[in-house]
Every structure is written in structure tokens, then in C-alpha cells.
Chain A
Amino acid sequence: MEIIAVIALWFGLYAIVSLSLNLEYGYAGIPNFGRALAVLIGAISVGGILNRILIFYFGVKGVNIIDASGKVKTLVNGIIANDPLFGLFLLVTSLIIAGVVGALTGALFILPSAKLREDYLAITLLAISEVVFMISNYDVDIIGGYYGVSIPDVLAFYAGEERIYLFSLIVLFILALVYIFLEKITNSPFGRILRAMRENEDVVKAFGKDVMILRIKAAAIGSAIASIAGALYSLYSVNVIASSFARVEWTFYPFLMVLLGGAGNNKGVLAGTLTFVVVKIFLTMYKHELRELLHLPFEAVWLEYMMFGILMYLVLLYKPEGIFKEKPIFTKPLRYVVAKFRSSSESEEI
């Protein structure tokens, strides 16, 4: 039973990130090789910003952020245990901070390369993401470096075995909101101009739209959403360690899920994410059995890297459009034309 909750939780978290990547890569054509950065920013919003606000508000003294975050966690957990509403308030506040900071960093870091070709864009975004990852991993003053910081449990009133069920429900609820929001904007004029930009930037320019502004908007929205996933993940694991926001987990795997499901198709991305998450969870669960079965003389994580790398290559080679192909957009006038065409062809058949 617990495995369903684990799958639901990871499906929710990864789906939010890969949907955000789908907006940027699948719709707008921005190869954001720095997706992990936005997720890390979400974690920093909770572990670095919200924690400091709480420490300041409650006047907690500590030698450093690592120490103080541990003390404030005990204090806040006590309050939430008696007053669930404060937990809800903290949850909503974290998500809002993460969204705002994520949007700002997304817009800021695409600025230097927003005018450039896609390979420069990909390289720069990857470089920025790697450098920020490295700094947060080594500098203990941001989110505790490799020691990490503690985070209050927003579900402290519901502690125990069942916590994961409630948390995965929250994550799925946020996922539903994100999905509806993305379906709305990708089926709007804005979503259509993003697709047009992906196909041909010059046409978009000829119609008087600024490609740079469009890219910045898409990156801001995408990063805000991915950052929310980072905040949710940190709130779930009640601590933040920079090393869990590496490029493989939060840039490469989301790309794999998007391409597996079908870039430019939100439903397809959900299917791709579910497939990936189920495979990954079973791999992680049975890694010791797998190691003994195959007589592997090394850790299963290396096998996981090789497997998913090869899977990505096979997808690129044999099915670059993914499981579900991108569908044409049915706007109101188009739907009317199609309906009319269908009815006329039916009447002809009669």
C-alpha cells in the first residue's frame, strides 16, 4: 500500500517539473539544460529564505543556519502539532515564495542568452545551473552545504506512518492545479505564439512579437512551476541538502520524461512521467535483489545511470516524437470549421 503512496508522491513531484520543462522545451523550444536550477531555487526558498524568516520572527539564536534551523524546527513543529492551520499557512507561504523567487531567477538567468541560438542557450543555462549547484553544495551559509538544513514539518499535527499519504495527496492536488493552468495557457494565444516561436522565430518577429520577451516569459513561468516542485520536495523530506538537486535527477530525468511521453503534449508528458517513475521506484526498491541476481560487482545506481542514458538515446533514435504525438490546436473557429466539414462530408456520403 505504501508503494502506491511513494509512486503517487514522486509522480506528482516529477510531473510538475516535467510539465514545466514541457512548457519551455516542448512548447517554446527553449532547451533548458538548467532545469535543476529552478528546483534547487525552490529548495533554497524554503531552506534558506523561509527558515531565516522563521528564525528572525521567533528570535531563535544559533551558531549558524544549520544549528538555528534545527532549533526553529522543534519550536515550529510544536506549534503546528496544536494548530494545523499554521502548518497550512506555512505550506502556502513556502509555495508562494518559491513561485516568486523561481520566476525571478528564471527570467534573470535567461537574460544574457535570450537573444542567442539554442546551443548557446543550452550551454549557458547548464553552466549557470551547475555553478549555483556547486556553490550551494560547498557554501555552508546558504542552505547548510553538505550538512543541509532542517525544515519544519508542515504536517506535524499528522505525524506518523500516514504522513506520506496526506503529503502525496497535497502534491497531487498541486499537480492538478499546475496541469489545469498549463492546459489553459498552452491553448491560449500565448501558447500558440510559443509554438510558432519554436517552429520559426523569424515569422514571430515578422508579426511584431519580441522573441526575447516571449522567451523570458516562458522561462519565468516554467521556472516558477519547477521551483514549486522543489519547495514541495523539501517540505516533504523536512530537510534540504543541496546534493539532492543534481543535474541527473532534475534536468536529465525530466528531459527523459518529456521526450518519452511526447514533447508539446501535456497528457503525453504525464504518461511519460508515470512510466519513468514506476520503473525508477521499482529499481530503487529492488536494487539489492537486482544486484545479487545479476551478480553486479558495483552499486546499482551506476546501472541506473547507464540504463536511463541508453533509454534516452533509444527514444531519440526511434521515437523522437514520444508515445503521444503533439496534437494540433483546436481553437473555436477551427473547431467550427472541422464540425462543418465533417457534417458536409457526412451529408455527401448519404
Chain B
Amino acid sequence: MSVVEGALVYSNLLAMLSIGLTITYITTSVPNFAQGSFAIFGSYISFTLFRMYSTHPYFSLPFAALGGALLGVAVYLFILRPLIRREASGVILMIATLALDLVLLGFIGAYSEILRAITRKSTTKFIFTPYDFELFGFSGIFFISTLVMCLLLLFLLVLLYRTKFGVALRASMENPSLAEVMGVNVEYTRIFAWTLSGALAAIAGCLLPFRQEIVPATGGILIVSIFAASIVGGISNLSGAIIGAYLIGFSESFITYNLSSIFGTSILLYSRVISLAILVITLVLAPKGLASVRWRKIWKSLLSSLSGSGSTQ
């Protein structure tokens, strides 16, 4: 897999995860610290199907999506909604998702060992790259992840701009209390957001083993990149999540790879430092993310200052 190809695949997966994170943040206003573990949950669904029934991971995508959707809905209905009903503060909700992350980690870890006992094969680490196909010199995951991403974008565009539910969803994203007054059922939009987020995370998790090795704790490492992508783009903006995902995805693989030819391979360890640096710079310069920046205004002021300095000469 070439570097650009790998970066694109990674960015596609990151985009699915950060779209999910953003949509739940917009509707429920809680950043989901368990999003990384949601993905690993999906990885283990496809891994189980692969080991038990030798299903190719690409064919297990619908099952992973279904499992992830169920997990997402369950998390909202049985974990977050009772807390929201008790008027828990934002921090309490965040700590709850942190607790959920730990429970999921424990569950996935325990499950991986049960799976090992059943299949009598190693299950602590796995990777799907050897089972991938190749087409026109590109890896299969490149086509599949791009295809999934395109379908997702199409789905979101049609849903948000062509359906009544989409209008209601956008309204409750913009202003939840006003939307509720106008008769939008905020509860439905939240359930939808968590379903979509869980399904997307599981799909990304199902495809992730084609690019990197998976262990039960991978989710904890992944979460840094997901948050970086969402915040850099603007955590309350769906298009921002996509921009942020490609920016972070490329900087983590492509930029680090190019830096390694200058500074040596030891810099590869620092790939996530780059996304962290981008995150910190964004927070300082544009705390609401890239999508909120008025580029046209900046461009105009830049032009006027340039022409201003030109006229004085």
C-alpha cells in the first residue's frame, strides 16, 4: 500500500468515526469518550464471523453495522437518557461515557479470551491485510472504504436536505429548544444520532484491521485522533468533521512519513504528536474549528492589507 493510499484509507475511516462523534455531540451535547471502543466492538464482530464461519470481513459489514447500531441505541437509551432525565451536568455525562469506555474495554477483553477458548486460536491481536484483494494495483480496502464514504455522504445529503426528518434534525442541531417548541421530537433525533454513530463506528472498526493490528485497547489510542479530527473541523459542524478527518488522517501518516525521510524513522513514533499539535493550534487560533473560520473575510483583509502596503510604497 502506498503512503498516499494508506493515508486516504485512514482518513476515510477517521471521517466515519468523527461524523459519528459530531452527530451525537450536536444532538446530545456530550463528547463520546467511548467512540474508539465502539469501533473495536465492530472489529470484533467481523473477526468473530471470520473465525467462526470464515465470512470475509467485507461481507460482515452489514452485521457489524447492525451490531454497532444496536450498541449505540442501547447506550443512549439505557445509559445516557436516565442521566439526562436526572438533569446531570455535562461533566457527569462525560464521565459516564468514560465509564462506558472502561466497561466496553473490559467486555471486549473478556470476549477476546472467550473467543480464544472456543476457537483455540490466538485472538489477542489480529489483522486482515493478508485477506484483502488487489485491483489495478490498488488495495481492496482503498476502494471499499472510499465507496462506503461516498455512500455515507450521499445518504447524509439526501437525508438532511431532501427529507422532512432531515429538516427537523438540522433544526434541532441548530437550536434544540426552539425546535422542540416547533414540535420536533428531540428524542427521535437523539436516538437516530446514536444509531447512526454506533453503526458508522462499527463499520470503521470492521475495516480498520485491513490497515492496522487490533487489540482490545486499540480504542483508547484511536480516540485521540477522532477527537482531534472533530475539534479541528469544529465539533458542532458535520462538514467540519469530514474536513478535520482528512486533515488529521493525512498529517498522521503522510506528513510523518515525509518527515521521517528528513529526521529518520524515530519520528514515526511521534505521528500522534502532530495531530495533537494541530489540535492545540486550532484551539488557540480558532476554538470553534476550521469550519467556523470566515475564510473570505480573512482573505479580504489580507488582500486589503497587501494593497494598502503596496499603495504606500
The stretch of A111-119, A149-157, A210-218 in contact with B is A111-119
Residues on A with beta carbons closer than 8 Å to the beta carbon of B100: 309, 313
| Distance between B196 CB and nearest chain A CB, rounded to angstroms | 21
The stretch of A161-169, A179-187, A299-307 in contact with B is A299-307
The answer to whether B110 and A303 have CB atoms under 8 Å apart is yes
The answer to whether A310 and B103 have CB atoms under 8 Å apart is yes
Closest 6 CB pairs of A and B: A305-B106, A309-B103, A306-B106, A298-B113, A309-B102, A302-B110
Q: Could you tell me which A residues sit within 8 Å of B by CB distance?
A: 25, 29, 31, 33, 112-113, 115-116, 118-120, 122-124, 126-128, 130-131, 134-135, 138-139, 247-248, 252, 255, 259, 296-299, 301-310, 312-313, 316-317, 320
| Distance between B276 CB and nearest chain A CB, rounded to angstroms | 5
Q: Taking CB as reference atom, which chain A residue is nearest B106? A: A305
Interface majority SS (helix, strand, loop, mixed), chain A: helix
The answer to whether A312 and B31 have CB atoms under 8 Å apart is no
The answer to whether A302 and B107 have CB atoms under 8 Å apart is yes
B166 on interface, CB distance cutoff 8 Å: no
The answer to whether A299 and B113 have CB atoms under 8 Å apart is yes
| Distance between B40 CB and nearest chain A CB, rounded to angstroms | 14
Residues on A with beta carbons closer than 8 Å to the beta carbon of B103: 305-306, 309-310, 313
Q: How far is the CA of A308 from the CA of B103 in the complex (A)?
A: 8
Residues on B with beta carbons closer than 8 Å to the beta carbon of A128: 276
Question: When the two chains form the complex, which single residue of B29, B91, B106, B279 contacts A127, counting CB atoms closer than 8 Å?
Answer: B279
Interface majority SS (helix, strand, loop, mixed), chain B: helix
Q: Taking CB as reference atom, which chain A residue is nearest B79? A: A313
Question: When the two chains form the complex, which single residue of B29, B83, B110, B269 contacts A306, counting CB atoms closer than 8 Å?
Answer: B110
Q: Taking CB as reference atom, which chain A residue is nearest B274? A: A131
Q: How far is the CA of A307 from the CA of B107 in the complex (A)?
A: 10
Residues on B with beta carbons closer than 8 Å to the beta carbon of A320: 88, 92
| Distance between B232 CB and nearest chain A CB, rounded to angstroms | 11
**Contact code string B284-313 (vs A, CB < 8 Å = 1, else 0):** 100100000000000000000000000000
Q: Most chain-B CB neighbours within 10 Å: which of A127, A138, A252, A303?
A: A127
The answer to whether A123 and B269 have CB atoms under 8 Å apart is no
Question: When the two chains form the complex, which single residue of A25, A139, A252 contacts B102, counting CB atoms closer than 8 Å?
Answer: A252
Q: Taking CB as reference atom, which chain B residue is nearest A259? A: B95
Q: How far is the CA of A126 from the CA of B117 in the complex (A)?
A: 35
The answer to whether A302 and B92 have CB atoms under 8 Å apart is no
Task: List residues of B (264-281) whose CB comes within 8 Å of A's CBs.
Answer: 266, 269-270, 272-273, 276, 279-280
| Distance between A26 CB and nearest chain B CB, rounded to angstroms | 11
Q: How far is the CA of A72 from the CA of B231 in the complex (A)?
A: 45
B255 on interface, CB distance cutoff 8 Å: no
Q: How far is the CA of A284 from the CA of B106 in the complex (A)?
A: 16
Residues on A with beta carbons closer than 8 Å to the beta carbon of B101: 309
| Distance between A148 CB and nearest chain B CB, rounded to angstroms | 17
Q: Most chain-B CB neighbours within 10 Å: which of A120, A252, A297, A305?
A: A305
- Given A122-B94, A124-B231, A316-B95, 18 more A-B residue pairs with CB atoms under 8 Å apart are A25-B91, A112-B283, A126-B223, A126-B227, A127-B227, A130-B220, A130-B223, A130-B224, A131-B276, A134-B221, A139-B266, A252-B98, A302-B105, A302-B109, A305-B105, A312-B99, A313-B96, A317-B83
- Once A119-B31, A119-B94 are accepted as A-B contacts, the answer to whether A298 and B280 lie under 8 Å apart by CB is no
| Distance between A112 CB and nearest chain B CB, rounded to angstroms | 5
B210 on interface, CB distance cutoff 8 Å: no
